[in-house]
Amino acid sequence: MDTPALDLTFDAEAMLPGLRTWVECESPTFDAAAVARMMDLAGRDLALLGARIETIPGRMGYGPCLRATFPHPDGGRVPGVLVMGHLDTVHPVGTLAALPWRREGNRVFGPGIFDMKGGNFIAVEAIRQLIRAGVATRRPLTVLFTSDEEVGSPSTRDLIEAEAARHAVVLVPEPARPDGGVVTGRYAIARFNLRTVGKPSHAGARLADGRSAIREMCRQVVAIEAMTTDAATYSVGVIQGGQWVNCVATYCDAESLSMAKRQQDLDEAVERMLALRPTGNDVQLIVTRGVTRPVWEPDERVMALYGVARGIANRIGFDITHQSSGGGSDGNFTGAMGVPTLDGLGVGGAGAHTLEEHLVIDSLVPRARLLAGLLQVV
């Protein structure tokens, strides 16, 4: 197939100023106003390309989402291509003080630059270059940017699944794998909220009368993480308890995550978590199941889509592997629905969710060109 998209002119240096604007618009999941500012920024860039922009109000305390629909002769008549990403990050407002935009050789650092503002930006850049060159996409094109992926997409799963059901293909520019490969499946993930309830007392005068919720939670954390096996992992990433240092804590709250390669293993992990009991009769433990991402296992159509992507990459001058991956993404939902989904199409880099988060500059052009090629032909 003739692929003029592969001849488009991409320039990493020209991309960086626009990407910097996105990265310096901090957008942590739990700050709905900050996420809304980021959606406005992305929406303006997409509107300048001729897309019809819809802001979808947030719910459950999370920020809004953005849908951009591009004009196409077959729009509304045939299923299209959905480019899907999230614009929320794990980094609180103010992280720029510790992780400012900075360039070190072939790397650029910044909050959310790798996961996944860099990938989203090059997807928009791919669309920009296609439009500028007058290269038509085979199918109608929609971009969906969501606001709560970093906490499991509790408020947007229904939106994601409804949008995916109207499309033939989903492309997700989440970070590339360490070897530059793409993702053709993802493990299942379940989140849990835990609360321990103790008995308050004055920590100085009547310590023995109290039962510490914090101590009970610590025991539970050790027990939970000890359940990790090759089949399923268990981890506790958030813990909060107590209000006063001179009071035995009445409450302690924690958040736990379990991940498994197979749905059966995740189901068993859920059963184990819900079966947890307190270590004594004088304390309570409450375990509540939270957001779950289903297993996405590749099928023939996913592998055919990977084959197209690999062929395009080969023509550009590099190869891409594929794998199922942990970590979870909104691709879990679309892939589990049976909509052909290709994930991990974003930039190369490392340090996601840390103060060393960065992308590799040399990955910008080949990954943008790969996305442009896919958008043209799938």
Predicted TM-score of the model (pTM): 0.93
CB distance 363 to 173 below 8 Å: no
Q: Where are the domains of the chain?
A: 4-187+295-377, 188-293
pLDDT tier, 1 (very low <50, low <70, confident <90, very high otherwise): low
| pLDDT higher than threshold 80 for residue 370 | yes
Phi-psi region of 89 (alpha: psi -120 to 50; beta: other; left: phi over 0): beta
β-pairing, 80-86 vs 141-146, is parallel
Is CATH 3.40.630.10 correct for 4-187+295-377?
yes
CA distance 181 to 161: 25
- Taking residues 214-225, report their average pLDDT: 98
Query: Rounded mean pLDDT of 176-203?
Result: 97
Confidence of residue 66 (pLDDT cuts 50, 70, 90): very high
- Average of per-residue pLDDT across 2-10: 87
Q: How many residues does the chain have?
A: 378
Residues of the chain above pLDDT 70, percent: 100
Classify residue 199 by its DSSP letter: B
2: confidence class by pLDDT, cuts 50, 70, 90? confident
Task: Tell me what the pLDDT averaged over the chain comes to.
Answer: 97
CATH dotted code for 188-293: 3.30.70.360
